[in-house]
Chains A and B, each alone.
Chain A
Amino acid sequence: NAGVTQTPKFQVLKTGQSMTLQCAQDMNHNSMYWYRQDPGMGLRLIYYSASEGTTDKGEVPNGYNVSRLNKREFSLRLESAAPSQTSVYFCASSEYGPGYEQYFGPGTRLTVT
């Protein structure tokens, strides 16, 4: 089992460019999450999907969109990247909701210049 995989591992964008971060899990989990991690801020939830076909906003959703493509895949899109979106992005999954262990991917380090 690969667990939670994320692509790409690193990305540099110019302001205004768009990109999609990909995430997939092979644990047959129902819930998936996108977080961003910034120094001194901990992990902040961007969006989550409680089950296939549903998505909901987290703490910091502005500037992002998500798609729960199927039970395995949950993508995060930046339509017009801004320097404030420079961060490390983590995808996670759990069998059910937030009262269950979340399994994290290795992260994507994004720099917006």
Chain B
Amino acid sequence: GAVVSQHPSRVICKSGTSVKIECRSLDFQATTMFWYRQFPKQSLMLMATSNEGSKATYEQGVEKDKFLINHASLTLSTLTVTSAHPEDSSFYICSARVPSDNIGPPYNEQFFGPGTRLTVL
């Protein structure tokens, strides 16, 4: 159980275009999902917390107008990189938190998707 998928796994786009990345919890409902960014040889940096049915909470320094997050259902959150530029090239990873009333892993354990490699030319 507790499987998280991401789509696409890899995307290459031209500068100025927008890219949408999907994050899905496959076998559980996630009221909270998280979006991270990882640059080469660096650790994961939290970008934003996505809550179902409400606005996302962004970390300091992350532009909310550039990284649009939508959490329209309990199993899907999307991250849209608007007007992407080469400096946005990175590995984007989402995670989903198992709710406290589920049987299985401990409350607040996060399960991670396989990541999306974004390359902006």
Q: Say whether A and B bind each other.
A: no
Chain B interface residues (CB < 8 Å from chain A): none
